[in-house]
Structure 1
Amino acid sequence: MDNNKIETLSTIRIQYSQDLYKIVDLLNRTLKEDDLMFGLALDDENEEEAIFTIYRT
C-alpha cells in the first residue's frame, strides 16, 4: 500500500451536536500512532446532521 494514501474505513451520518468535535479530537490524538484518523463534517444539505468518517493513514 502506498504510504501517502488515506483509506476510508467507515462513514456514518449522525445528528450534529456541538461537542462532537471534542470526541473526534480525542480519537485523533489518542489513535494517531495506530495509523487511524477521524473526520467530522457538516452535511451540506442538512445542517442538523454530521458525517463522521474513520480513515487509515
Structure 2
Amino acid sequence: MESKIEVLSTVKVEHSDDLYKIVDLLNRTLKRQDLMFGLALDENDKSKAIFTIYRT
C-alpha cells in the first residue's frame, strides 16, 4: 500500500523557541482528520521557520 502525502500550504514565519509546541499540539489534535504539520528552519535565514500543512 502506497502512502501519498500532499502539501496543502506552506508559510515562512519568524522563528520562535515555542513554535514546536504549536506544531506538536496540531499534530496530536488533528491526526484523525488526516492532517500533519511540519516545522523546519529556513536554510538561508536561520531567523525564519517554514511551517507546512500536509494531508496524509
Smaller-chain TM-score range?
over 0.9
Mapping of residues 1-57 of structure 1, within 5 Å? 4-57=3-56
Distance 1:32 1:16 in 2: 24
Structure 2: which 5+ residue stretches go unaligned? none
TM-score by length of 1: 0.95
AA aligned opposite 1:52: F
Count of residues in correspondence between the two structures: 56
TM-score by length of 2: 0.96
Runs of 4+, deviation exceeding 6 Å? none
Structure 1: which 5+ residue stretches go unaligned? none
AA aligned opposite 1:30: T
RMSD between superposed Cα atoms in Å = 1.2
- Secondary structure of the residue aligned to 1:23 is helix
Distance 1:33 1:53 in 2: 18
